[in-house]
A and B are shown apart, each in its own frame.
Chain A
């Protein structure tokens, strides 16, 4: 199994700030990595796939980088609506064996 880790588990920032979340895979996954935003009581929302490609309709304040085992999600110009938990997910083992990271909760004050 490929294990995914994320850091930090929690981050608090102010409106207008930038935050960077790190996701690490236990083995190389090339760029088969997606990022999701999940708000309480809502369906998770796909933000980024292929490590750095923005899903249609997602603001350009969100960006992703990385390849192999280390990946980052950066949110610039934070808005109150960005408060959510963010998860990475590897798709290297498609069509099965998917794994999610443990999540990073972002609180925008």
Chain B
């Protein structure tokens, strides 16, 4: 059974760096999937943050690209998110997810973590 679990600080000060990890079980990061981050600010909808492949190739949301770094650690089967210079607008529930793309029509997130609330506040 595929499971993803986000972890990281729940409170980050403005102008600092938000860091989250996603631990994956039941599916190897080295297999033929991408891995993604999605967030949901309070009272708003889902926003795609970025995708990463096990090779380390990344694709970022243009609106976050200048502040965003994603990385993958296949030896520990986890991937990470770093968002620099955060403001209150970055307060959100952050989800990690598996992006399936092999097979007809499959370019979507089939397994998600439960989400981690990150609040940006002093």
B-binding residues in A (CB < 8 A): 1, 31-32, 34, 36, 38, 42-46, 49-51, 53, 55, 85, 87, 89, 91-92, 94-103
Contacts and interface: CB of A to CB of B under 8 A. Distances in A.
Among A42, A100, A102, chain B packs the most CB atoms within 10 A around the CB of A100
B11 interface: no
A44 B110 contact: no
A95 B101 contact: yes
14 contacts: A34-B107, A34-B109, A43-B112, A43-B113, A49-B105, A49-B106, A53-B104, A91-B101, A95-B59, A95-B101, A96-B59, A100-B46, A103-B45, A103-B46
B115 A43 contact: yes
Query: Mostly helix, strand, loop or mixed at chain B's interface?
Result: strand
Given A43-B95, A44-B95, A96-B59, A91 B46 contact: no
B34 A100 contact: no
A29 to B, nearest CB: 10
A53 B59 contact: no
B19 to A, nearest CB: 21
Interface of B: 34, 36, 38, 45-48, 50-51, 53, 57, 59-60, 62, 95, 97, 99, 101, 104-110, 112-115
Contacts of B60: 96
Among A89, A96, A103, which residue has the most Cβ atoms of chain B within 10 A? A96
